Structure 1
Amino acid sequence: MKRYLYIAAGAMIGAVLRLSISLFSSYAGLPFFTGTFIVNMIGAFAAGYVTCRIIEAGSLRKDFLITGLLGSFTTFSMLSYEQYMLLAIGDYVMFTVYAAINLMSGLTLAALGWKIAERRNR
């Protein structure tokens, strides 16, 4: 039961942070997909970093941060929906660019987070 409470607490914080960033990017007049891109890139870096720093499986800290906070903060479903919307409006170039940038940036930032944490572990 304790594990579920840690995950729920992290998820609550992650969801509020995600909404805040999405609202900010919307109010700033940025393209509709900007908030998702920002949270997914922060999340990719943080997941790489946290996973390397907290190796032990079943750790309550890892459950709170990875499954709870980052799980609700980042969103693959919204990324997929936004890519579909770009296709639906016929913006094939932006769809291709957005998909490629998300994949490449996400992988790069996850690896960077891991490498930085790895150096701190020494």
Structure 2
Amino acid sequence: MFMTFLHVAIGGAIGASLRYGAGLWVARMALPGLPWGVISVNIIGSFLMGAFAVWSLARGQGALNPFVMTGVLGGFTTFSAFSLEAVTLIERGDMAAALLYIALSVGLSIGALGLGFWVMRGMLA
């Protein structure tokens, strides 16, 4: 049990570091107005979560789930940061940007997870 907690902690550190780096990179490339870094990591992380969930089940690698899914991808995706950015936009009075941000983040992240399922199932077929 201790080793599983350690795997989650190590994975979380890796994921959080990747999120920070991706957020910096996207912020340099994106247009201002929306927190594109958070949107991007949530979409990418959702795709990877979907693909890994299918792969680990198909390959009998469920033992990796705490490290990869809870640790790395849990640290990489940013629901708490998403919530903060949404409330910040609302408090600024920019309801249009807040609603767009919420719709893009939720809709595209769910779509990306489904796409990850579909891609991995196709690759494993």
- The TM-score with structure 2 as length reference comes to 0.87
Superposition deviation, residue 23 in structure 1: 2.0
Kept in 1, the 8 Å contact 2:30–2:36? The answer is: no
- Counterpart of 1:64 in structure 2: which amino acid? F
In structure 1, what is the equivalent of residue 72 of structure 2? 69
CA distance in 2, matches of 1:51, 1:93: 34
CA distance in 2, matches of 1:29, 1:96: 19
In structure 2, what is the equivalent of residue 17 of structure 1? 18
Gaps of 5+ in 1: none
CA distance in 1, matches of 2:111, 2:29: 27
- The TM-score with structure 1 as length reference comes to 0.89
In structure 2, what is the equivalent of residue 94 of structure 1? 97
- Counterpart of 1:44 in structure 2: which amino acid? S
Kept in 2, the 8 Å contact 1:3–1:60? The answer is: no
What is the CA RMSD across the aligned residues, in angstroms? 2.0
CA distance in 1, matches of 2:115, 2:29: 28
Question: How many pairs does the alignment contain?
Answer: 122
| Cα deviation digits, residues 20-42 of structure 1 (max 9, x gap) | 11222334474361111111011
Kept in 1, the 8 Å contact 2:39–2:104? The answer is: no
In structure 1, what is the equivalent of residue 124 of structure 2? 121
Superposition deviation, residue 15 in structure 1: 0.9
Aligned pair 1:111/2:114, yes or no?
Answer: yes
CA distance in 2, matches of 1:83, 1:111: 24
Kept in 1, the 8 Å contact 2:16–2:72? The answer is: yes
Gaps of 5+ in 2: none
- Counterpart of 1:15 in structure 2: which amino acid? A
